[in-house]
Structure 1
Amino acid sequence: MIKQLALALLSLASVLLCSCGSKEGRPEFVFTYSVFFPSTHIHAVLAQEWADELNSRSQGRIRVDVFPGGVLSSAAENYKSVTKGVSDFGMSCFSYSRGLFPMIEGLDLPWGYESGQQASLIANRFIEHFKPAELDKIVFMYAHAHGPGILASRKKISSAKEFAGMTIRGTGVSAQMIRALGANPVGMSQGDAYEALRKGVVDATLCPVETLKGWKQGEVIEHVIHVPAAAYTTAMFVVMNQKSWQRLPADLQELIKELNLEWQLKHGLAWNQADSDGEEFVKQLGGKSFSAFPEQENAQVREALYPLLQAWADRLDAQGLPGKEALEFMNAQFTK
C-alpha cells in the first residue's frame, strides 16, 4: 500500500514538473529578425548570438527567430518591412533606403575612418546625439559600420592626379568620390566586381579590406592602396517595430537596451577582425603590394572630397535640419 502510494505521488510529481516545464518553456513574446547578411557572415552570426543571449537573459520569456540572407525581406526592403510589421527586427544598410535618412547618410562620407570599431562608435554617437526624426517610425536598437574604404587596384598609384582617367567600381557615395577625384565610376554589385577586375573592365574598386577576402577580389587585384582622406564607411542599422516594442514590459525593454550596448561593440570589433582577415588573405596570395598615399597627396584628396561633406550639410540646412551642427560634430570626431 505504501509502495503504491509512493508510486502515485512520484507519478503526480512527474506530471506537475512536466506541466511547469512546458509552461516555462513557452515564451511570452516571439519575434522575427530579418538580417540581410548570409547565415555564414560574422554579422549574421552575431545577430543569432544576440537572439540567443536575449532568450537566455530573459529566462525564456523572449524568443527571436533570426532569418538571415534576406529570406524574410530583401536588403532594400528590410527597413520598410520593420515599419510595416512584416518583421519585428531588421538589420541592413541605411543607404539601401535612399532618401529616407538625410542626416544619417552623411555617416557614409569620406571622413577619414580608421577602423570598423571607430566607425561603429561614431555612428552610434551621432544618432544618440542628434536623435534624427527620420528614425521616428521605428525603435532604434544600434548601428554598426565597416572599416575604412581603400582602393584595391590593378595598377599602383601614389598621387591624387593619377586618379584621372581611371575606371573605378563604386556605387552611391563611393561613386561620388570617384567622380570628384577625376576618375570614371562604374556601378556594379560586389558580386560582379570580381569578373570586372579580372577582365580589366575596371582598373580598381573602392571597398573595405574585408571584401578582398569575402568576395575573393584580392585574387584579381595587385595593389591595396590606403588613401586616408578617402576612407569612407557604410553605416548599418538594427531596428525594431514600434508596436512590437510597446508590447514589452519595462524590464524586458531595459534588458534589450543593455544587450544592444554590448552588441554594438561586438559588431565594431568584428569589422576590425574582418579587415585583418582580408589583409592576411591578400598577403598569403603573394606578389601583392600594400601602400598609403603620402601626406601631401592625401591633402589634395581631402581638398577634392571636402565639397561632398559641405554639400551634405547644405542639403540638411535647406531642409531645416541641423546641417552646420552635423558637419561640426563629425569633424570634431576626427580631431580629438
Structure 2
Amino acid sequence: MNRSIAAITASGTVLMLSACMGGGGGAGSDDEIELSYAFFAPAESFPGVQMEEWADRLAEETDGQVTVQTYPGGTLMGAGDIYDGVSEGAVDVGLDSPAYDSSRFPFSSVINQPVGIENAQVASATFLDLLLEYEPAEFEDYQIITAFTTEPAYLQTQEPVQDTADLEGQDLRGSGASLPMLESLGAAPVSLSMAEVAENLEIGTINGYVSSREVLRDFSLAEQVGHVTDYPFGVSNSFVAVMDKEDFDALPEDVQKSILDLREEMTTFASEYHDDTNVGEALDWAKSEHGVQTHELDPQVRDELDQQMEQLSKDWVADHSDAGFDAREVLDRMSELADQHAEGLAAEDS
C-alpha cells in the first residue's frame, strides 16, 4: 500500500512523502510540510488542548516549516479507529486511548493498575518512561510522539462512601480496569461511556461512578453526585499520540528532531494542565456551585483498600503471563519510576 504524508511546498504544489516509493523519497529539508492530527474527543478536553499546543509549538520549533491541521471531536475518525487510520495513511498523527482496548495494548494497561499514583503528572511521566524504555511490541510500527494520562479514578457517588461496606450492592459505572476493582469491593459494576452517566444517574440505574474528577464539570455531573471519596484507584485513562514509523522516518532529520524534542515537553504540559486547571478548577467549581464534598478515609480503611488493590495488581500479572513481556518486572518498574517522579514533584513543590 502506498501511504503518504501531504506536504505543501513553497510553490503551492503538493509533495507526497511515501515510505514505499521507489528510489528513495521524502520531503526536502526546506519544503513546507503540513501534517494532519486526529483525536476523538472535543477540542476543549485536555488532550484536545494538548494537540493544539503541540501544533503551535512544532510550528515555532521549525520556524513555520511544519504546520498541523487538527481534527478533534472525532471529525476524521472515532476512538479505537485512530491508530489504524495512522497505519492506513488516513491521518498523519493520531491520538487515541490504548486503555479502550487492553487486549490490543496489553503492555499499556499496566499504567491503569492501582499502585497508589496520586496525580496525572506522576502517572504521565511514568507512562512515557515505560513506553520508551521497553519499546513494547504493540507500538512497534509507530513512532511515539507523546504520551500522557489522566489522574487516577476516584469514587464519585450520590451517597458518601467512607468504608468498603458502603459499596456493597451499589450500582457504579466503571470501564476497563475499574470493572474488576469495583467487583472486588462488592459493588455491582456497570459498563457505560461517560456520555451515558448523567442520564443513568438521573433515572437511578447507577448510584455513582469511578472516573477522574474533571468530569464533575466537563459532564455536569456535580449536579447529580454530592460526594467524592479521596482514594486514588488506578489511572482512569491513558493517551498515546503516534505517527507511522516509516512516514516519520521519511521526514527531514531536523523535523524529526523537533518532534522528538517536544515529546517529553508535551507529556509535562498535558499532565500539568490536567492536574492544575482541568481537575483543580473542576473540584473548586463542584464545591462552590454544587456543594460537592470530598471525604477522607480512616487509615484502617485505606489499609484495607491498599491490600485489595495489591491483589488486583497481582491478578494483572497473572493474567499477562503470556503477553510477550515480563509483567511482574514491568509492574515493579512502574512502581519504581512512579516513586522517583513523585519525589521529584514533591521537591519542585517544596
TM-score (norm 1): 0.88
Give the conservation status (yes or no) of the 8 Å contact 1:160–1:298: no
Helix, strand or coil for the counterpart of 2:321?
Answer: helix
Give the match for residue 238 of structure 1. 241
Out of 315, 329, 336, the position equivalent to 1:332 is: 336
Out of 83, 88, 93, the position equivalent to 1:89 is: 93
* Structure 2 gap segments, 5+ residues each: 1-8, 15-30, 341-350
Out of 259, 268, 271, the position equivalent to 1:265 is: 268
Runs of 4+ residues over 4 Å off in structure 1: 21-27
TM-score (norm 2): 0.85
Larger radius of gyration: 1
Give the conservation status (yes or no) of the 8 Å contact 2:37–2:94: yes
Tell me the CA shift for residue 259 of structure 1. Answer: 1.7
* Structure 1 gap segments, 5+ residues each: 1-20
Is 1:77 matched with 2:88? no
Cα deviation 1:136-182 (Å, max 9, x = unaligned): 01111111101121111111121122211111111111111111111
Helix, strand or coil for the counterpart of 2:285?
Answer: helix
Tell me the CA shift for residue 322 of structure 1. Answer: 1.3
Aligned mates of 2:162, 2:313 — CA distance in 1: 24
Give the conservation status (yes or no) of the 8 Å contact 1:83–1:242: no
Is 1:141 matched with 2:145? yes
- 2:158 aligned partner, one-letter code: R
Tell me the CA shift for residue 246 of structure 1. Answer: 1.6
Tell me the CA shift for residue 298 of structure 1. Answer: 1.3
Aligned mates of 1:207, 1:110 — CA distance in 2: 13
Is 1:158 matched with 2:170? no
Is 1:256 matched with 2:246? no
Aligned mates of 1:295, 1:147 — CA distance in 2: 22
Give the match for residue 17 of structure 1. none
Cα deviation 1:163-206 (Å, max 9, x = unaligned): 11111111111111111111100111111111212232211110
Give the conservation status (yes or no) of the 8 Å contact 2:126–2:338: no
Q: Given the superposition, is the C-alpha separation of residues 25 and 266 from structure 1 closer, same or farther in structure 2, using an over 3 Å criterion? A: farther
Tell me the CA shift for residue 55 of structure 1. Answer: 2.0
- 2:214 aligned partner, one-letter code: E
Cα deviation 1:239-297 (Å, max 9, x = unaligned): 11123202112111111111222111100111112110110111112433211222211
Give the match for residue 319 of structure 2. 315
Out of 61, 64, 67, the position equivalent to 2:68 is: 64
Aligned mates of 2:49, 2:161 — CA distance in 1: 37
Aligned mates of 1:40, 1:74 — CA distance in 2: 16
Aligned mates of 1:308, 1:319 — CA distance in 2: 17
Give the match for residue 217 of structure 1. 221
Give the match for residue 30 of structure 1. 34
Tell me the CA shift for residue 24 of structure 1. Answer: 9.5
Give the conservation status (yes or no) of the 8 Å contact 1:141–1:240: yes
Give the conservation status (yes or no) of the 8 Å contact 1:164–1:181: yes
Tell me the CA shift for residue 28 of structure 1. Answer: 2.9
Helix, strand or coil for the counterpart of 1:266?
Answer: helix
Aligned mates of 1:84, 1:265 — CA distance in 2: 30
Give the conservation status (yes or no) of the 8 Å contact 1:144–1:236: yes
- What fraction of aligned residue pairs are identical, expressed as a percent? 24
Aligned mates of 2:292, 2:52 — CA distance in 1: 36
